[in-house]
Amino acid sequence: MSDQPAGEKASSPPPGLPGIDFSTLILSLSTTALCQMGAVPDPTSGVRLPPNRVIAQQTIDTVEMLREKTRGNLDEEERKLLDSLLYELRLKFVEMPE
């Protein structure tokens, strides 16, 4: 847990890592969901994992919950990113094999 006041940005990330912000969090969760659907290879191993509908749905639901909990607090760019990622994730989910 950080000692900095709420709303302040974290210090600079370690070299080679992106800064952490809301968009980075949402992109990370979206990538995780795509891996869980077997749509993209795992970024760390390069291996495409077998699809897991239950876990993928839970991750998509988490992104949806974040959208609801942050409604009215996002800038336009963050809102558009969140909406478009949810749309894409849902499309991929319904295309998943049973």
What is the value of pTM for the model shown?
0.80
Contacts of 29 (CB under 8 A, 6+ apart): 59, 62, 63, 66
**CA pair distance 81, 38, nearest whole angstrom:** 22
| pLDDT given at position 10 | 56
> Do 78 and 27 touch, CB atoms closer than 8 A?
no
Each residue's pLDDT tens digit, 5-41: 455 555 677 887 778 899 999 999 999 999 999 999 9
Closest CA to 70 of 54, 57, 56, 86: 86
Residue 81 CB neighbour total at 10 angstroms = 17
Each residue's pLDDT tens digit, 31-87: 999 999 999 998 889 999 899 999 999 999 999 999 999 999 999 999 999 999 999
